[in-house]
Chains A and B, each alone.
Chain A
Amino acid sequence: MLIYFQELLKALIGFIDVAGLYFALTQLTHRNISQNHKFQAVGLGWAFADSVLHRLAPLWVGARGLEFTWDYILQGLEANANLVFSISLAALGSLMWLRKNKPKTLVPIIYACAGIVATMPSITSYLRRGLGWHFPKVVGFELFTSLAMAFISWQLFSACQRPSA
């Protein structure tokens, strides 16, 4: 029972990520930032807050024990991947909500990529619990996927740039 509750919580967090990014991208007014850089600032800020809230408390409580575990190093690497994910999500989000003239063919791809990135927490927890992957393997998978996702969203972003340029 507790496992399902935790899974639900993680899916909720993913959804809140999207909602929060939407709110930060559209509702908050940044005056001196152009369209291109807004998503970077928002994504960076979001990833920073995410890391602090999710990883600072376990690090503070756990890393002071006598025994050494690789967990905290891996968590740091995971935070790196998380940063890239947040920035790509912000980029896709800015494409979705801030740009009105998108090529029609790319729109479903944008939404699909955004969906994948938003459900990343659930995917990783499924890999850990359902398939029984060890933590280093999961972190490696996250790093790889984050780079792939960043590349895809970069391509999408520059593809959407062309009509207005």
Chain B
Amino acid sequence: MAARDLGGRPVLESVYSVIALVFVLVACAELCDAATVVDVYRLIQYDIAGAPFGSRLAGLNHHASSLHFAPGADLSRTVLVIPVRDLNLGYVKDYLSQRQPLGGLLFLLPQIFSFESKENSGNGEELLKNIVMELEQLLIHTNIPYPVYFAFENDDINTVLADIKRNDESGQPATATTGGYKLVVSTTEPKKVASPVISNIQGWLPGLKADGDPNQLPTIAIVASYDTFGAAPALSMGSDSNGSGVVALLEIARLFSLLYSNPKTRGRYNLLFGLTSGGPYNYNGTHKWLRSFDQRLRETIDYAICLNSIGSWDNELWIHVSKPPENAYIKQTFEGLSNVGDELGIKVGLKHKKINISNSRVAWEHEQFSRHRITAATLSELSTAPGLFENTGSLADSRNFVNEAAVIKSVKLVAESLARHIYGHQGKNIQIFADEGSLAVNPSYIRSWLDLLSRTPRVAPFLSKNDPFVMALKKELEEHTEEVILQNEVLDGMFTFYDSTKATLNIYQVASVTFDLLLLLVLGSYLIVLFSFLIITTRGLDDLISLFRRPPSRKVKTA
């Protein structure tokens, strides 16, 4: 019996401990309680010719505070949480220009800027959009030595912010001794993006060459740049700039591929469609694309139309040119467009801006064409040339501010005027792309591509070489055109970018030191009381007291 016991005991015990371990693991799964976790997007960090801009740090581990902090408080180890709705731009401007020390900034964006929101834009939203645009311009052009993050408002973070405001107003700012909310973003330090790649996609629709005609057919180019740049690169969807241009280009390609598929309706012009990258960086991609053309192709291009931001206008569009308006080609193009515009009820204006060769700043895409001696014009809703990194598809440019009807009208305008030029129907009142015909502009095609573009951030240095979106654009062009070439180039070395654009923020509610000490005291006294109680009830009070008395010395016994 004893032998069996000794053998059986360890086995049963080990079996029990294994089962207990399993139970522990199973129970552990229920106890993992996470604090509030939010997706945050970092401000862009970049250098222009070595000069640093944007937020230079990524890791964050500080207490949170709202704008109601006590004046004169030391904020070098706190993060300011600012909802954009209550933003006072002048205050932020002062803070940044005076270079005051700060632990970090967290901006809360209203849900309307998120791509999942389906609200329509009203008057209040326009004001908000302008505020966000100004904030972005301020942040992009400043060198900020602490982390700056953007997050979308949701219920969790709103309750946290309300709590923080309450604490601040009652005069109890969050520090290590008083407890409060602690914001932690644990991410690696940002590294340079080595050799950022810009990919240009071109599609070629050949025209009908008459038999026995040795001359090359003339070409018309339609170009749009598809990449964006914004304060938060993970949120730069650029629905209007230049998502609307890309969608219009794809729709025009589709319509003309239908026309050109039948030899009887194929025009005597080649059509070249170009989706270029590197738009915000002085149209670097367009420059490299044009440089790669061989001389013959360059000579056959009659003119090029560049599309830039045609998604949120009411009844006025602008044609921007760099050659003087008296030029024959320019006159012809402008008259063609304005005639069609009159029929569609669109007012088309002409703006002329001379190129300054010594200035490296290229504000419009057609200026790159002009520098390569190709006649070009840009069709846009913007009336003035945008500055560096303005109107490049940033945070404020979300799907809610783009009007599908505007894009459809722009497509009709460009397609009709092109078709009249190609088939020689200038001045005649013929509607080739009439609404009920088989060549009508397809609104659901436009809507689905706009939605896709509004969900895809497209900042060029963060698009890898075979990015799925670029491949999707290439595939779409392959469906409508005959020869599609993807050209990968390296971005101009003047611009350097740093990664780490997206992170998760953990919000912890940290207790103060006094609370910890108090808890320690309470638990200690509980244990002491329990111990004394047990000793008194089982052995008597004398035994408890005798624990503290020194044991009687031996000397007494011998005496």
Query: What is the interface of chain A, defined by CB distance below 8 A to chain B?
Result: 6, 9-10, 12-13, 16, 20, 23, 27-28, 53-54, 57-58, 61-62, 65-69, 71, 73, 76
Contacts and interface: CB of A to CB of B under 8 A. Distances in A.
Interface stretch (B23-31, B238-246, B340-348): B23-31
Contacts of A58: 24, 27-28, 31
B51 interface: no
A13 B19 contact: yes
B509 A68 contact: yes
A54 B509 contact: no
20 contacts: A9-B22, A9-B26, A10-B23, A12-B19, A20-B12, A20-B16, A28-B9, A53-B21, A53-B24, A54-B20, A62-B33, A66-B508, A66-B510, A67-B508, A67-B509, A67-B510, A68-B510, A68-B515, A71-B31, A76-B523
B17 interface: yes
Contacts of A54: 20, 23-24, 27
B357 interface: no
A76 B520 CA distance: 13
B5 interface: yes
B306 to A, nearest CB: 53
Interface string B482-524: 0000000000000000000000000011110001000100010
Contacts of B17: 53
Contacts of A65: 508
B23 A13 contact: yes
Contacts of A68: 509-511, 515
B117 to A, nearest CB: 30
A23 B13 CA distance: 11
B182 A66 contact: yes
Given A28-B9, A66-B184, A68-B511, 18 more contacts: A9-B22, A12-B19, A20-B16, A53-B23, A58-B24, A58-B31, A61-B28, A62-B31, A66-B35, A66-B510, A67-B35, A67-B509, A67-B510, A68-B510, A69-B33, A71-B33, A73-B519, A76-B523
A20 to B, nearest CB: 6
A53 B20 contact: yes
A23 B9 CA distance: 9
Contact of A57 (B28, B33, B184, B509): B28
A71 B30 CA distance: 12
User: Which of A28, A62, A67: most chain B Cβ within 10 A?
Assistant: A67
A96 to B, nearest CB: 20
A58 B32 CA distance: 9
In the A-B complex, the 3 residue pairs with the smallest Cβ-Cβ separation, listed nearest first, are: A68-B511, A67-B508, A66-B508
Contacts of A12: 19
Interface of B: 5, 9, 12, 16-17, 19-24, 26-28, 31-33, 35, 182, 184, 508-511, 515, 519, 523
Nearest to A13: B23
A65 B27 CA distance: 18
Given A57-B28, A67-B510, A68-B511, A27 B33 contact: no
A120 to B, nearest CB: 15
Contacts of A23: 12
A66 B512 CA distance: 11
Contacts of B26: 6, 9
B16 A16 contact: yes
Contacts of B515: 68
Contacts of A61: 28
Contact of A16 (B19, B35, B510): B19
Nearest to A17: B16
A67 B37 CA distance: 13
Nearest to B17: A53
A12 B508 CA distance: 37
Contacts of A66: 35, 182, 184, 508, 510
Nearest to B20: A53
A142 to B, nearest CB: 15
Given A23-B12, A66-B184, A69-B33, A57 B24 contact: yes
B8 to A, nearest CB: 8
User: Which of A12, A28, A53, A71: most chain B Cβ within 10 A?
Assistant: A53
A54 B21 CA distance: 8
A62 B32 contact: yes
A145 to B, nearest CB: 19
Contacts of A10: 23
A67 B31 CA distance: 13
A57 B23 CA distance: 11
Contacts of B12: 20, 23
A7 B17 CA distance: 19
A154 to B, nearest CB: 12
A44 to B, nearest CB: 11
B179 to A, nearest CB: 9
Nearest to B15: A16
Given A62-B31, A71-B31, A27 B5 contact: yes
A28 B6 CA distance: 10
B353 to A, nearest CB: 56
A138 to B, nearest CB: 13
Contacts of B21: 53
Contact of A9 (B23, B33, B511): B23
A67 B516 CA distance: 12
A28 B12 CA distance: 13
Nearest to B512: A68
A53 B25 CA distance: 10
Nearest to A121: B23
Contacts of B23: 9-10, 13, 53-54
Contacts of A53: 17, 20-21, 23-24
A23 to B, nearest CB: 7
B178 to A, nearest CB: 14
Contacts of A69: 33
Nearest to A50: B20
A128 to B, nearest CB: 9
A87 B24 CA distance: 22
B64 to A, nearest CB: 13
B504 to A, nearest CB: 15
Nearest to B181: A67
A135 B49 CA distance: 60
A48 to B, nearest CB: 13
Contacts of A73: 519, 523
